Amino acid sequence: MDAFGFCALRAFLTLHLKTFVVQVIDAMPVATLKTALVFILSILGLRVTAQNGYEVPAGSPGFYHGNSSASVTFDQYSLFLDDKRTLFLSGEFHPYRLPSTKLWKDVLQKYKAAGLNGVSIYLHWGLISPSQGINRWTDHNDIVKFYEIAKEVGLLVIARPGPYINAESAGGGLPAWLTVVPGLARTNATAYREAWHPYINEFAKLSAPYQVRVIRKIWTVHSYKWHREFVERPIAVQAENEFGPSEWYHIAGLNEYMQDVIDTLRTGGLNKVPITHNDKNPGGAFVKGVGAVDLYGFDGYPAGFQCASPETWPELETNMHANHMKLSPAVPLALYEWQGGAFDYWNSNNGYDKCYKLTNEQFANVFYKNNIAGGVRLQNLYMTFGGSNWGNLGTETIYSSYDYGAAIREDRTVTPKLNEIKVQSYFLHASPAYMTSDRIGDGSQATGTPFSDSNEIYTTLWKDSKSGTGFYIVRQTTNTKLTPTLFTLRVNSTVLGTDIVMPSSGVMSLDGRESKILVADYKFGNSKLLFSTAEVLTWQTFDGVDYIYLYTSPSDNFEIIVQASGLASSNSTTPPGFTINSTEKYTVVSAQANRASAVTAIPVGNAVIILADKASALATWAPRLAPSTDPGHYTPSPDAAGVWIMGPYLVRSVSLNKGTLSLEGDLNSTANIDIWGPSSIKKVTWNGNPVALSRNTLRGSLSGTVKYTLKSNAIKIPDISRSTWKCIDNTPEAYADFDDSKWVVANKTSTNRPQKPYAGKYVLYGDEYGYHGGDLVWRGHFDGNATGVELSVQTGYSGAAMAYLNGNPIGSAQGSSTQWSGVDVQIIKATFDPKVLRSKNNVVTVYHDSMGLSQDYNVDDEFKKPRGIRGYKLLGNGVDFVKWTVAGNVGGESGPDRVRGPYNEGGWYYERIGAHLPGFNDTKWSACSPLTGRTAPGITVYRTSFDLNIPKGADVPLALDLELDSIAYRSVIWVNGWQFGRFASSLGPQTSYPVPEGILNHQGKNEVVVTLWALFDGGAKMKKLELNKRAVIESSKASNIGVVAAPDWKAARGN
């Protein structure tokens, strides 16, 4: 059909079928034909209803299960991967916040080990694009490399390219050069589209070959059966971020812009996976209409960001399911960002340890299980690893660390929160009935359905109608109660009966700020758990015997009722303290509190119950043995073969070959281990070394010991406070005779951005002259006898500025911040000393730092707030500046460092000469130390070098540690050319700066530069500057990774 015929057909159908509900789709026998029909109708702009009232968005090929041939589909209950229901449990990770890309695999393996089968990633357009039309998909922006690593590890990916991402990042991901582009960003403004379209199109084309798909081929060696092989990794792509329609913002063109982004992703080749969007709150943004996405979801941060009060929790919400059913009942409940930690602010007096405490393992236990009570089927925890805001990457309000109080800390060490996430993930993956369960009811004695006899217990019941499995999520009615509550539960079971009070004798216990998921009629293998007072970790069938792993507090009584092939009763082999009784239909196993063993195996017919205390469950790992080509590599349910290992700090991977179980993992101390698995296991190795084993009959396991062999005290870290330091003054531009003839002349008199200058003839914003990152220097020339100057320097919150007249300091100012507000314009008012003035060529020099661009959360061009001099005025005698010049990063938008990117460097003297880069010749610098400092206001730059020799097999995260001071000074920390920290002595709170391996050379020379900017009279000195070990882990991760290949002085500055 030619273009005219197509248009005529579209016009005819649109005229006569304004709302076309495709009722025949469900009757079509072939999913491919359904997909074709849905796609044709959607591109015609007609409303297509697939099932359950779900409307296929315009332009989408459709991904509703049963109507689509795509490998990724969904219905109202869950995702499907190649017709298999899949629970998507994910952690947020920003590759660009860990620029040592060889460590990506380490982090992702920890996600996988914790039972996550997905990872969600933001991409930072501004970091990728140094100038309009140029996008560099290399190094820490290498999306293809990330997909390949995720594929190797076995994680599905939700990619989130923006264009806007927020993420507490500079510009919220919008590039700094966009600040000079006319038109309101995040709308359908023409100039804005010309800016973002090439970036999104390139992302789509790079990602399209990696969409999840299934190759079906004949297996000709053995069975001649169809073999399904999963390849590539993105499972979904998000358009925009925490956005909304025009009616929300009262701004025209927002829906059209959203639709344009989606269409660009599709035309770029991303048509095999759903498009998603994360609504900032459950408000129904882009569920239907122009800009609608395939799979709606929303965000939630229930504890907020109140790290100052980590003991104060909000109450749990009970309307999550109701909101979901109101907004998008035809799709599974998706929480694309759920609180995994909290960010912190400059000047907060908190630090990320408090943010961790706010959202610790207790928080994870209660709030994530409340998501299960809400019916979540896709959950992404933001953040699970935070990383660093290196190189001016953070927005103005937050400091260099992006630790986030996450389950994996900035230095990559794992926390108890990761283990709590693990036990929940293992349970959910082992419980396919949860994915098809429906909410039956919820409440307490005071409201709703009272499943418990206690007025202090709130219960939610989900039940799968096919299997009869019930999931009882129990918690305290209030988070303010911190003491235990005793209770019983009314349970329905197809075998036991209706409203059966459990346990049959005694009571259960729930600690304050604790939640449990108790199950009824729970199938594991060919056996069934009718009820248990202990929680399920996971289950597996080994050699035809069904094993189920249960855990509870050792101080709690224990009772389970199980159906298995064969009955059991108490006998001489019954573990001490346990009682076993059987009826014709089931077996009851019970035990009193304070049991002798932390882990006990109880055989019941053809089943084995492993009962452990929670500490043992948290220390247990359940990796799969499935090969990377098997769906089990990505959906870690007990359908895929696996083993259980209790004891080590981390288990990364396992394999079983010819009777040898090979374990790869990490230790922070010698560990006793227990292994449950098939009888084919004859030998075990740990990181290639044999492990002596014995049979533990009480635990039903193979037991052994894996030894921690590192001598941590022998790993020496240099005392850099005693290193040989050299220094140079950083303010040669302050003097009137300094030659700035090669600097950029700042002579613009207007700007496209809404933020206009306060005063002065010229626009003195760094971005207007191509300088988008780091600290800037301005020089204003004037003749005559002015009496003073007024300067308004916009640095961003908690920034600082200093001014000189002809080499003499005349004033400084430092801002502050409180969460999202504070002082971002530094006011300097100075009266000139007549003795300093010259008749001609006087120069006011202004130094300021830039605290990262603002974000654009409210679609108001806030990110265009300038970094530079917002207003200026010479006082007295009608004198004005005749010329302004500015120095920024070398090369501006065409800077020579294509690895560290456009934000890493600024324009101060030491940066322009490349003193921060490795290989710089500092032989002519003076000997001095930052611990001695300076006695007057000004800026000094210090350099030193040292060697490291971290042994192979040791993962030793290192950090540079400083100390706060009431004397105000500021420092920038550089490691081998990478800006890895900003320190404000009187603001804080950050005093420790982890520097990842690969930025630090763990087996060779390192060069460190620190600045000391004394703001006020009396000068300043550092109280402390140390390089310290954060941990010493004996690890199977790749070691001796060297350093990231990035330009040294010769490459970036040499001629």
Question: Whole-angstrom Cα distance, residue 987 to residue 968?
Answer: 8
Which residues contact residue 923 at a Cβ distance below 8 angstroms, ignoring those fewer than 6 apart?
none
Cα 941 to Cα 279, 431, 484, 1008: the distances in Å are 46, 59, 57, 11
Distances in whole angstroms, Cα of residue 180 to Cα of each of 191, 849, 865: 10, 20, 11
Return d(Cα 434, Cα 47) in angstroms, integer: 32
Residue pair 62/42 in contact by the 8 Å Cβ criterion = yes
Going by the DSSP 8-state scheme, the letter that residue 990 receives in this structure is -
**For residue 548, what is the enclosing H or E element?**
strand 545-552
β-pair partners for 944: 1008
Contact 115, 418 (CB under 8 A): no
Taking alpha carbons only, the member of 848, 875, 879, 866 closest to residue 781 is 879
Catalytic residue among 55, 232, 337, 410: 337
700: tokens are 């039903």
In angstroms, the Cα distances linking 305 to 301, 350, 993 are 8, 11, 21
**What 8-state DSSP symbol labels residue 1015?**
-
Whether the bond into 383 is cis, omega within 30 of 0: yes
CA–CA separation, 708 and 710 (whole Å): 6
The single residue of 168, 240, 242, 1007 carrying the catalytic annotation is: 242
H helices within 270-368, ranges in order? Answer: 320-327, 352-358, 361-363
Q: How far apart are CA 634 and CA 541, in angstroms?
A: 19
Three-class secondary structure of residue 148 per DSSP: helix
- The answer to whether residue 242 is catalytic is yes
- DSSP single-letter state for residue 366: I
Instruction: Report residue 542 as tokens.
Output: 């080994």
DSSP 492: E
Cα atoms in the 13 Å half-sphere on the side-chain side of 232: 21
958-961/954-955 β-pairing: unpaired
Tell how far CA 671 is from the center of its chain.
Answer: 30
Q: Is 741 exposed, middle or buried (0-12, 13-18, 19+ CB in 10 A)?
A: exposed
Residue pointed to by tokens 């000094």: 940
Q: How many CA atoms lie within 13 A of 845 on its CB side?
A: 24
CA distance 184 to 191: 9
Q: Distance between CA atoms of 735 and 602, rounded to whole angstroms?
A: 83
Q: Which residues pair with residue 729 across a beta bridge? A: 940
Q: How far is CA 214 from CA 82, 148, 587, in A?
A: 7, 16, 43
Distance CA 476, CA 487 (A): 11
Catalytic residue flag (residue 337): yes
Beta bridge partners of 448: 443
How many Cα atoms within 13 Å fall on the side-chain side of residue 1035? 23
The tally of CA atoms less than 13 A away on the side-chain side of residue 415 is 24
Name the amino acid, one letter, at 115.
Answer: G
Report the DSSP beta bridge partners of residue 672. 705
Distance in angstroms (rounded) separating the CA atoms of residues 407 and 385: 7
Which of 1012, 1010, 762 minimizes the C-alpha distance to 881?
762
In the three-class reduction of DSSP (H, G, I as helix; E, B as strand; rest coil), residue 618 is classed as: helix
**Position 1051: which residue type?**
A
**Residue 692 neighbours by CB distance under 10 Å:** 9
Residues 420/365, Cβ–Cβ less than 8 Å: yes
Catalytic residue numbers read: 242, 337
